[in-house]
Structure 1
Amino acid sequence: MDGITFKIFNSTAQLPLQWDHVAQQNVFLQTPYLSVLERSAPTNMQCFYIGIFENYELIGVALAQYLDLNVLESFGERDKCIKTTLRNFIFKNFASHTLFLGNNMITGQNGYIFSKEIDFECISEILRKSADEIIGYFKQLGIAIHLVSFKDFYENCAVKLRVYDFSNMYEFTTQPNMILYCNENWCTAEDYSASLSKKYRDQFKRARKKFEGIQVKNLSYEEVVAQEEIIYSLYHYVAKNAPFNTFFLAKDHFSTLKGQCGNRFQIFGYFLQEKLIGFHTLLLNEDTLETYFLGYDESLQKEKMLYLNMLYNMSEYGIANGFKRIIFGRTALEIKSSVGAIPVPMSGFIYHTNPWINRFMKIIFKQLEPKVQWQQRHPFK
């Protein structure tokens, strides 16, 4: 840590001028996206921006998010069972004030980035000390942080972080990140479908047949604003019926994101007889295509195979535009694997600020994370 310091900002207006240069390889750490979080973050979220300096030169940036789960309308309403009730009780009473080092809204290693090589001993110390400083900030406000989580590290990073300041934390793995690696020989949707085995090529054809009559349109900022209420209601239905949630987006999140990020944020509307029945969103992140939030009309979902067709459309966009990989994120693992995404394990580290409760973190965490049984599909020849 010789010569390495950090400073925590609570407004993007305060960020150093070099911030985007340091974050140039990750759209989720650049000021256009961070300003969206600042202007239209979930109502129970507050963001902090961490600048890391070497002899006063900015060499790294990181993101932290505080979540107040007391104000959340629902943790997810799909699963109604005793274990879900227990999980909700634990969150409300022992984990309602949670601090994430990283981005809780997306899947992937998007919590920090450096413009030069930094050893993992230094990274783990910076992240841990940043968490301690934010905990102290909330303590002055009379708020006790319960849980602290350092989220989403690929295995090559996790194995190094666990040696240093993270060694006494509980390391957890949740649902994997589903990633489609685009074959360099794919140039069109036809190339992709030709690479599928007969079973999954038939699935592709069947989905496309069901999709007839639906128009897909890349929406402009003005169109997003005009459709904002419907877009949010479609998103909210899907989010509310997910197995688990720690936040809900602000109603103007998509229009704010489109206004701030322009063409780096794509939102596609699905219209049936000129009525918006669904949408999906994408963020263009260097050579990686990041899938973001989506929504659909549940009454048409099965009939039109909307979700599966959205996955195919995202894949086709990535292939046509030369992306090397498409990040599909967590949830719906089996159907994502049916279009070619493979599971990539990710780790996180977590601790409770109450030392007595922290001793039982392994037991507690198993009650917090919904267990998912699924079968990986292998759609390619």
Structure 2
Amino acid sequence: MLDNQNHLNFSPMDATKTLESPQRCSIQSLLQPFWQNTPTFPLGQKVAAEGYEWLYVSHIDQVSEHWQNGPNLFLQSRYLQALEDAHTEGLEFRYLLAFKNGKAVGGINLQLLTVSAAHSIRSLRQRELIGFWDRIKLLLANWGTYRFMIWGNMFLTGQYNQWWDIAEKDLPALQTATLKVLNCLARQEKIQILMARDSFHHEEVLENAGFHAIDFQPNMCMELPDAWKNSDDYLNAMSSKYRVRARRAFKKSEGIIFRELDLRQIELFSEDLYALHLSVVNQADFNMLWVGKDYFVQLKQQLGADFCLTACFEKERLLGFFTTIRNGKELDANFLGFDPEANREHQLYLSMLYKMVEQALQFRCNKICFARTALEIKSSVGAIAQKTFIYLKHTNPILNHILPTAVRFGEPKEHWTPRHPFREE
């Protein structure tokens, strides 16, 4: 991630390569990532570099004795194990631990993903519908299959990518060393694009390392005041216009039964749940990955009561579902699915959002994270946009220079108007 002259101070333990001095290069070599002549970090073996020892592995259970299972559920090994066991197609997992004097002082979770731009952008797959500029975009996208190294979690919105257990004064040095090691790992794994996600402010250490801050769609979050004890308190805080809107949604969903499913029931409805999920995600204009069929079963199995899958039934017919994950005092809205026709008839999605608020109040949470997409309807139930940055870097210095322009060229746009459902005090 740092420039090539910033070599690792590499000392051999289980590997012996060092970075060589820069040699005179051809134009062709400049157009390729610098993968050759760099130190390697064999999976499962400790390697010394930059004053630390590093352990790079592909399964969380290989480092469970060192991994710090703090209060943040999304960094706990049980959650990370569930993601591995969901077997999401095309997704690989990696974990990097830093050791000082035999003690683990930091850990980061990584995901490796190969993405085809032409396949990920829905509007580009509908070739008969697109105009001139979309055809140009499709032509460029067809050239683009990229291997990503994601420093973070593609299943969440938020900065759930690292933990540190070191004195604050020593943290900058450790972070700088980590960036250097990640740069070597990117070359080792033949990565084209590194992604660090998601940050709610500018990260100077990343920008100094050549990353570009891209402000994609915001994270939609909602604070829950202590005074709200139940759904009635929430509705009473609304202006009359939005309270009427909520009651209209409740009326349209009369006859729909919302029921939390246990593990056995999730297994029983597994195929139907996944089909309903695909009916929603396949309508999105951009998708980098599709969750594995075992995702919901594995999360329930590993997280127990902290993972809730609430299904919507009309009599015995499954119409839709939503999932939430309780992370301490925060409720994270996760994946969902519904039948499009049932959604139009019963306003299922809006009713689901209200049910999430109700669930958060029952759990005595003080915040809900609704994630990205569907920004306007989320704001209508009280969520506020929180600006979120994703940091990107191409491993080729020339292509990295034009990366922000290329991303903006292909980025799907969502035009929306923020709503303000609550009365002003």
- TM-score (normalised: structure 1): 0.90
- Which of 244, 268, 273 is residue 315 of structure 2 equivalent to? 273
Using the TM superposition, give the Cα deviation of residue 61 of structure 1 relative to its aligned residue in structure 2, in angstroms. Answer: 2.1
- Which of 119, 125, 136 is residue 176 of structure 2 equivalent to? 125
1:98 corresponding residue in structure 2: 148
Larger displacement relative to structure 2 (41-50 or 268-277)? 41-50
Using the TM superposition, give the Cα deviation of residue 71 of structure 1 relative to its aligned residue in structure 2, in angstroms. Answer: 11
Q: Deviations over 1:26-50 (max 9, x none)?
A: 2122111111221224201111112
Using the alignment, how far apart are the partners of 1:29 and 1:327 within structure 2? 17
Identity, % of aligned positions:
30
Q: Deviations over 1:67-125 (max 9, x none)?
A: 11259965435985345555555455235211111112210111112245546634642
Contact 1:23–1:113 (8 Å) recurs in 2: no
- Which of 110, 130, 136 is residue 81 of structure 1 equivalent to? 130
2:56 corresponding residue in structure 1: 8
The 1:117–1:223 alpha-carbon spacing in structure 2 relative to 1, beyond 3 Å, is farther
Using the alignment, how far apart are the partners of 1:200 and 1:129 within structure 2? 51
Alignment of 1:1-381 (within 5 A): 3-19=51-67, 22-70=68-116, 74-76=120-122, 81-82=130-131, 86-87=136-137, 89-116=139-166, 118=168, 121-122=172-173, 124-138=175-189, 144-155=190-201, 158-162=202-206, 164-165=208-209, 168-381=210-423
Using the alignment, how far apart are the partners of 2:118 and 2:98 within structure 1? 32
Question: What is the DSSP-based 3-state SS (H/G/I as helix, E as strand, rest coil) of the residue aligned with 2:194?
Answer: strand
Larger displacement relative to structure 2 (6-15 or 90-99)? 90-99
Question: What is the DSSP-based 3-state SS (H/G/I as helix, E as strand, rest coil) of the residue aligned with 2:369?
Answer: strand
Using the TM superposition, give the Cα deviation of residue 164 of structure 1 relative to its aligned residue in structure 2, in angstroms. Answer: 4.0
Contact 2:64–2:77 (8 Å) recurs in 1: no
The 1:70–1:344 alpha-carbon spacing in structure 2 relative to 1, beyond 3 Å, is closer
Contact 2:83–2:298 (8 Å) recurs in 1: no
Using the alignment, how far apart are the partners of 1:30 and 1:93 within structure 2? 38
Letter in structure 2 aligned against 1:366: R
Question: What is the DSSP-based 3-state SS (H/G/I as helix, E as strand, rest coil) of the residue aligned with 2:157?
Answer: coil
Using the alignment, how far apart are the partners of 2:144 and 2:282 within structure 1? 22
Q: Which runs of 5+ in 2 are unaligned?
A: 1-48
Using the alignment, how far apart are the partners of 2:145 and 2:384 within structure 1? 32
Contact 1:72–1:247 (8 Å) recurs in 2: no
Q: Deviations over 1:257-302 (max 9, x none)?
A: 1112111111111101211110000111111111110000001112
Using the alignment, how far apart are the partners of 2:404 and 2:325 within structure 1? 34
Using the TM superposition, give the Cα deviation of residue 316 of structure 1 relative to its aligned residue in structure 2, in angstroms. Answer: 0.8
Using the alignment, how far apart are the partners of 1:164 and 1:359 within structure 2? 14
Contact 1:44–1:72 (8 Å) recurs in 2: no
Structure of greater Rg? 2
Question: What is the DSSP-based 3-state SS (H/G/I as helix, E as strand, rest coil) of the residue aligned with 1:36?
Answer: helix
